[in-house]
Amino acid sequence: MKINKSFETQLDALDKDEQAVIKTALLALENSYAPYSHFKVGASLLLENDETVLGSNQENAAYPSGLCAERTALFSYGSSGIKSPIKIMAIIAFDKDQKQSDTCSPCGACRQVMFEYEQIQKKPYKVIFCYDGHIEILNSSAELLPYAFHF
């Protein structure tokens, strides 16, 4: 996978937690199963106890049976019984040419799930997108879905 020089420079400017969660999202990307779209996505959750939970997109010939990286990470976290809240989520994507994708924004279903995990833990977590030489940091997943379904 090819990392853009601008991306490396921006990564060096982040705090140690932000750098760590992005690096583990890159590791998660290696487990992506994307034989149809060739669009590989890795996601990582950094928890307040410094544990990490990884997720990667998993496609299936019986479309739409696959699952996005964001939801594999969050559902793995939710099903594990871990009680430590999520501190940061990082998402990174690479295209079929194995270079950083020019987009890395979660789908609507992922945005709703991300928002709901904030509701469950009763506090926001940072969301970091890494795409085409850029790193974008949001303070809450709620910023991604202004009309989220609330419970």
Active site residues: 70
DSSP class of residue 142 equals: G
Distance CA 15, CA 5 (A): 18
Kindly report the number of other CB atoms within 10 A of residue 117's CB atom: 20
Tokens of 18: 């932000």
Distance CA 11, CA 48 (A): 21
Cis status, amide bond into 64, omega within 30 of 0: yes
Distance CA 39, CA 55 (A): 14
Contact 88, 46 (CB under 8 A): yes
Tokens of 99: 């270079």
